[in-house]
Amino acid sequence: MADVILSGVRKVYPGAVEAVKAVDLRIADGTLCVLVGPSGCGKSTLLRMIAGLETVSEGAVAIGGEPVNDREPAARDIAMVFQNYALYPHMSVYDNMAYGLRNRRTPKPEIERRVRAAAGLLAIEPMLARKPRQLSGGQRQRVAMGRAIVREPKVFLFDEPLSNLDAKLRVQMRIELKRLQRSLGTTSIYVTHDQLEAMTLADLLVVMNEGRIEQIGTAMAVYEKP
Ligand code: ADP
Ligand code: ADP
């Protein structure tokens, strides 16, 4: 079980910017939760606190019943996907996906099994030997997701992962991401400023404004009010 539970989480940056104001949030195991809201409302800060990349000024974050501390995400079964894919340009797609597992001394047959399974899910099997520059934007984004999937994390954190793609591809990738999340069933938290993206993806939609949760519920409940 990897419920994500935030209790009274607050973040004050130096200079007294109160980026997140006492947020309470419970994300059940297997849920795709989308944080949506205007630029500067505190989405990334909240996500980074869940990842343990940013300290919490007050309150607590727990994943699967365990408090999140300042250990790096790799140590806590969390995988993040960002908008700048940060693939290693000199490495093949296979090696990009295998890199993190090799660092953790995962046995080679297990690495191969996981990379091939992820490549299958993402339909990038024919591209495993290519370098990132030989891929389209959408394919690169799939590789970035593949790197997260092979870690078999308890929680995926997505920070505007599709915002560098053109509109058509964004729609396609959004559908694929939803399908993928359903089939893996991994608890996921997805940050976006795009309302349409939020509506189509979310099991649980969290609308933020000025550091607070303004609305929360299913997309239907939040957007289709009489
Ligand atoms: P969003 O992801 O919704 O755009 P952020 O979480 O990035 O919002 O930012 C929330 C607020 O915190 C903004 O006012 C932003 O300027 C401020 N902020 C973000 N990161 C820092 C930082 N490292 N130091 C100081 N202020 C920050
Ligand atoms: P090595 O190349 O020294 O055998 P690697 O860890 O790079 O070690 O590769 C492990 C296995 O992964 C290989 O046996 C191969 O089957 C597969 N593999 C590695 N690179 C690629 C690639 N670019 N495309 C397809 N499969 C690969």
- Is pLDDT of 226 > 80? no
**Which residue's alpha carbon is at the smallest distance from atom 21 of ligand 2?**
94
Tell me, what's the pLDDT at 16? 80
Ligand 1 atom at minimal distance to the Cα of residue 13? 25
**Which residue's alpha carbon is at the smallest distance from atom 26 of ligand 1?**
13
Tell me, what's the pLDDT at 213? 97
Tell me, what's the pLDDT at 168? 87
Q: Average pLDDT, stretch 133-162?
A: 92
Burial class from Cβ neighbours inside 10 Å (0-12, 13-18, 19+) for residue 15 reads exposed
Residue in 13, 50, 54, 160 to alter for ligand 1 test, most ligand atoms within 8 A of Cβ = 13
Q: Average pLDDT, stretch 161-179?
A: 88
Tell me, what's the pLDDT at 131? 96
Q: How far apart are CA 34 and CA 194, in angstroms?
A: 10
Tell me, what's the pLDDT at 225? 63
Residue in 39, 45, 189, 209 to alter for ligand 1 test, most ligand atoms within 8 A of Cβ = 45
The residue among 75 and 10 whose pLDDT is bigger is 10
**Which residue's alpha carbon is at the smallest distance from atom 10 of ligand 1?**
42
Split at pLDDT 50, 70, 90, the class of 71 is: low
Give 96-136 as a 3 state SS string.
Answer: HHHHHHHHCCCCHHHHHHHHHHHHHHHCCHHHCCCCHHHCC
- Mean pLDDT for all residues in the chain: 91
Q: Do strands 204-209 and 32-36 pair parallel, antiparallel, or not at all (unpaired)?
A: parallel
Ligand 1 atom at minimal distance to the Cα of residue 37? 3
pLDDT digits (tens, 9 = 90+) for 92-139: 999 999 999 999 889 999 999 999 999 998 889 999 999 999 999 889
Phi, psi dihedral angles at 17 (to 5 degrees): -80, 115
Tell me the sheet residues that pair with 79.
156
Q: How far apart are the first and last CA of the chain?
A: 36
Split at pLDDT 50, 70, 90, the class of 220 is: confident
* Helices and strands: H and E segment counts in the chain: 7, 10
Of the candidates 38, 44, 3, 6, which has an alpha carbon nearest to the alpha carbon of residue 25?
6
Q: How far apart are CA 98 and CA 143, in angstroms?
A: 11
